[in-house]
Structure 1
Amino acid sequence: MTKTIPLYGVVNLPAMEMVALDVLRSGRLASGEFVSQFETRLSDLVGLPNVVTTIDMTSALFLALHLAEVSEGDEVLTCAFACLSTNSAIAQCHATPVWVDFKPMTVEMDIADLESKISPRTKAVILYHVAGYPGPAREIAALCKKHNIILIEDCDNALFAARDSTLVGSHGDFAIFSFYPNRQINTAEGGALVCKNNEMADRARKLRRFGINFNTFRGIDGEINAASDIPEIGWGITLNNLCCALGCAQLDSVKNRYEKTTENVRKLRSLIENIEGIEPVSIIENGTPAYWVFLLFAYNRDEVISFLKSQGIMASAIHQRNDIYSGFGVTKKIQLPNTDYLQNHIIGVPCGWWLGEQEIEQIANALVKASSLVMADKNVNDA
């Protein structure tokens, strides 16, 4: 019987179960010591100060856009090939997304296309590091500085991804991370906003909990202090103590899972290096991905995915381009030829830490067989 190989894995460690039980028994589910612990340790992990956790990544992105003063009538430059969890925050701010294309045969935002679409209404750029593949953050940061635009790096599944040994998230005014169950760290739900300066981080911490300043909100008697003003009303988007405890329990081993995933991709690449009709997506120069999935381009993509699934390999096209959705309010059709190519040809295959050598060989063998079918179809169509 063919073994089914899932596209994503979910971290579940004995330490997570133990700490969850401890927090439940303590009664401190909403707030507690693990919130600050998780933020401090995340800061050490990513090498960035001012980590502010939120209930999910979209809330973190919304908070970043709000801090960037993005509002109705403003434009945010972003790529259409992304999860709705990225671009929905733009609509929540009542701003307009301006869709930017990719460089040909890559998942890198096209810098020339980006610059050509900057207008007086442009307030921010969201750079999504697609599926953990690092994008041209350094170059885009320089462009944003030139035009006085805020850069938000969406690193939602790119923990440990780097370029020139610099971790993603380091170039933006803000960076976003996700702790959804299928990410490198699983807090059941969760996200984080990283701010460049202390002032923005302090403001973000207040806004994630209705704008409250917890240093003055209650008096020494424990009652709400009427003299503690709330000049800017925020939202209820705090990541709770239980979720943060789950995250803390994974931090000691997360680098090992990243390294195991990287080794799995190395093996998979070596096993499929000579096949035709299916090829790995290129990596930016001096880039080191944190593979959420292993990305491939394929002729007859849908047929390849169907075949892989028949072999127990849960491959996927991973995203549906967001510019098809009327809710974004963009009525003018923009030509995005390289986004078209991505949408029609990209495949994500499993590669994560939960896979052993036998599963990697099963994936490789299925890709070799799929390649034969692809080339047979291509030869017929070319005849």
Structure 2
Amino acid sequence: MIPVAKPLIGEEEIKEVEKVLKSGFIAQGPKVAEFEEAFASYVGVKHAIAVSSGTTALHLSLLSAGVKKDDEVITTPFSFAATGNCALYIGAKPVFVDINPKTFNMDPELIKEAITKKTKAILPVHLYGQPAQMERINEIAREHDLVVIEDAAQAHGAMIKDKMVGSIGDMACFSFYPTKNMTTSEGGMITTNNSQMADMARILRAHGEKERYQHVVLGYNFRMTDISASIGLVQLKKLDGFNKKRIENAEYLTEHINEISGIEPPYISPEVKHVFHQYTVRVKEGKRDNLMEYLNQEGVGTGIHYPIPIYKQKLYQDMGYDDNCPETENAASEVLSIPVHPDLSIEELEKIVISLEAASDKVF
């Protein structure tokens, strides 16, 4: 089976982990600080705060930005559940707006009508590695005095013109889960140019301590370990190479998928660098599940990201959500992710294409 995602861990990462284990600094220590400095430099921001996951990065960012109980956070329903759940953690309310059917990202033109007196923040997601329309989102945020927090969990190294994702909003959140474009095993990162927000995030991740045993706010244990940071430092050096291979693989797939009826390859917005965390096609005529089953039988791994809009999850249904986002629901019934990770060989890419071509006769 060709996996739909695959972490690439080499001898360099193993050696660095071994050094940390022998050093005695295995919790948050000098390697975390080094990783933060390197990641901030890569993204082009003043501050990077390493945390235990992408989810905790989202949670702390909202708190650090001043989002409170009963505030509203505008976001997309077409994402992993953590994007909405992070608002619930602090008693705020996620408010969902529909997506652009081409990019799968939140449609900025629907944001204004979702803004109320309770709105505090906009949380766009750079889904699959394609940047959201940040220029328009920031413009709307400035008009209404709102905070913008980028969910960049799937977009390490993605760019809009000459700006790196993670440096465009007030804050941004990255995930280093094993399937992401780079990994630390588990882990996350907050990036920002706002020193006040950065300071609060650092306090909140460590039990609310401003100084040792001086707890100034209710905080959490959301710290990254030096073990994870040592992996991240090596992976960060490899990230551009990983992304280059992802983009090349995506170009190969698109070139061949364009000739297959019933399957629509990903759209890439002008002036962006899409880093293809996922290569996600749309499958027409209600044949998505049939195609997925056929590809799996042929040894080609697949994934559905995401089959259920967040507001249709039982948690949200029990809370009374009855949203109607037709583009999101259409996408949820049609999207299928196929392998694009940087470890694919040309033989595996050819096998994926051959299987898709055969499916055009047998499935459609």
TM-score range, shorter chain: over 0.9
Using a 3 Å threshold, how does the CA distance of structure 1 residues 71 and 327 change in structure 2: closer, same or farther?
farther
**Is this contact kept in 1: 2:312–2:321, CA < 8 A?**
no
Is 2:277 the partner of 1:289?
A: no
SS at match of 2:237: coil
Segment of structure 1 superposing worse, 283-292 or 5-14:
283-292
Offset at residue 370 of structure 1 (A): 2.0
Distance 2:176 2:198 in 1: 19
Contact 2:26 2:226 in 1 (8 A): yes
Q: CA deviation at 1:154?
A: 0.5
> Whole-Å Cα distance in 2 between the matches of residues 40 and 338 of structure 1?
40
> In percent, how many aligned pairs have the same letter?
29
User: CA 1:332/1:35 → structure 2, altered by over 3 Å: closer, same or farther?
Assistant: closer
- The residue matched to 2:28 in structure 1 has which SS? coil
Per the alignment, residue 155 of structure 2 pairs with 158
Contact 2:40 2:48 in 1 (8 A): yes
Q: Once structures 1 and 2 are overlaid, which stretch shifts more, 195-204 or 117-126?
A: 195-204
Q: Secondary structure at the match of 1:271?
A: helix
Counterpart of 2:166 (choices 169, 191, 196) is 169
Secondary structure in 2 matching 1:171: coil
Q: 2:254 aligns with which of 241, 264, 269?
A: 269
CA drift at 1:261: 1.1
Deviation at 1:339, TM superposition (A): 0.4
Matching residue of 1:323: 311
Contact 1:96 1:330 (C-alpha < 8 Å) held by counterparts: no
Q: Which residue of 1 aligns with 2:192?
A: 195
Q: Answer yes or no: is the 8 Å Cα contact 2:64–2:198 preserved in 1.
A: no
Count of paired positions: 360
- What does 1:111-122 align with in structure 2 at a 5 Å threshold? 111-122=108-119
Deviation at 1:86, TM superposition (A): 2.2
What is aligned with 1:7?
Answer: 4
Residue number in structure 2 paired with 1:311: 298
Alignment of 1:26-65 (within 5 A): 26-65=23-62
The alpha-carbon distance between structure 1 residues 59 and 70, as it changes in their structure 2 partners (threshold 3 A), is: same
2:210 and 2:216 in contact (8 A); partners too = no
Which residue does the alignment assign to 1:221? none
Does residue 1:179 correspond to 2:167, yes or no? no
For residue 330 of structure 2, what is the amino acid of its counterpart? Y
Q: How does 1:1-383 map to 2 (within 5 A)?
A: 4-214=1-211, 217=212, 229-299=214-284, 300-319=287-306, 320-328=308-316, 330-375=319-364
Task: Return the offset for 1:301.
Answer: 1.0
Kept in 2, the 8 Å contact 1:134–1:289? The answer is: yes
Give CA-to-partner distance per residue, 1:262-313, whole Å, 9 cap, x none.
1111111112221111011312222221111111111111111111111111
4+ long deviations beyond 3 Å = none
CA contact (8 A) 1:313 1:363 kept: yes
Answer yes or no: is the 8 Å Cα contact 2:245–2:342 preserved in 1: yes
Q: Which amino acid aligns with 1:123?
A: K
How far is 1:330 from its partner? 4.2
CA distance in 2, matches of 1:107, 1:189: 26
Counterpart-to-counterpart distance in 2, 1:347 and 1:190: 26
Q: Deviations over 1:99-121 (max 9, x none)?
A: 11012343121112111111111
Instruction: Provide the C-alpha distance between the structure 1 equivalents of 2:152 and 2:123, rounded to a whole number of angstroms.
Output: 10
Q: What amino acid sits opposite 1:315 in the alignment?
A: T
Deviations 1:15-68 (A, max 9, x none): 111111121122211132101110011112112220001000111101111122
Match of 1:379 in 2: none
In the superposition, the TM-score normalised over structure 2's length comes to: 0.95
Corresponding letter in the other structure for 2:288: R
Q: Please give the TM-score of this superposition, normalised by the length of structure 1.
A: 0.90
| Contact 1:185-1:254 at 8 Å conserved across structures | yes
Once residues 280 and 130 of structure 1 are traced to their aligned partners in structure 2, the CA distance between those partners, rounded to angstroms, is: 15
Give the AA of the match of 1:325: Q
Amino acid at match of 1:147: H
1:183-242 deviation digits (Å, cap 9, x = unpaired): 12211100001123112112211111012234xx3xxxxxx6xxxx43223111011111
Please give the alpha-carbon distance, in whole angstroms, between the structure 2 residues aligned to 1:178 and 1:50.
16
SS at match of 1:295: strand
Change (3 A) 1:48 1:371: farther
Q: Distance in 1 between matches of 2:47 and 2:184?
A: 19
Work out whether residues 68 and 123 of structure 1, in 8 Å CA contact, stay in contact via their aligned partners in 2. no
Counterpart residue type for residue 149 of structure 1: L
Secondary structure in 2 matching 1:194: strand
Check conservation: 2:253, 2:353, Cα contact below 8 A. Answer: yes
RMSD of aligned Cα (Å): 1.5
Q: Post-superposition shift, 1:332? A: 4.0
